[in-house]
Amino acid sequence: TELAFRLGPQIPILGVCLGHQSIGQAFGATIVRAPYIMHGKTSEIYHDDQRIFLDLPNPFAATRYHSLVVERETLPNCFEVVAETDDGVIMGIRHRDFPVQGVQFHPESILTAVGKRLLGNFLNQN
């Protein structure tokens, strides 16, 4: 977690699942139990169509493997929620000043059909 905090101002970071949670925690958010366990299940992800989500369908189906989440109420103001499920679980965060982003879902999963495009967007923006 300290690495994300120290390198964030200089090196682009994309945290996936635990990496997403680590980014949140490094900057002061609390990690809590998810409302329900999601292991190998897909959800519709609603997003802001910016940066890593540029030109992706909205929503799109993504694979989730987690039982913990970043708590919305403790997410510091330096972050914005940029993706979530239809019931409000945070699925993506972005730092307002640093090239630091995180996603709770797994873009590398075969069940996340737009995962390659999302990762390509990350590589192309940095």
Is 39 marked active-site?
no
Q: Which of 20, 47, 95, 106 is catalytic?
A: 106
**Quick check: 75 and 30 in contact, CB under 8 A?**
no
Would residue 106 show up in a list of annotated catalytic residues for this protein?
yes
Q: Please give the Cα distance from 93 to 36 (Å, whole number).
A: 20
CA distance linking residue 81 with residue 71, whole number of Å: 11
Candidates 2, 17, 78, 84; catalytic one: 17
Q: Are residues 79 and 72 in contact, defined by beta-carbon separation less than 8 angstroms? A: no
Per this entry, what is the length of the chain?
126
d(CA 100, CA 23): 8
Residue 17 falls in the annotated catalytic set: yes
Report, as residue numbers or ranges, the catalytic residues: 17, 106, 108
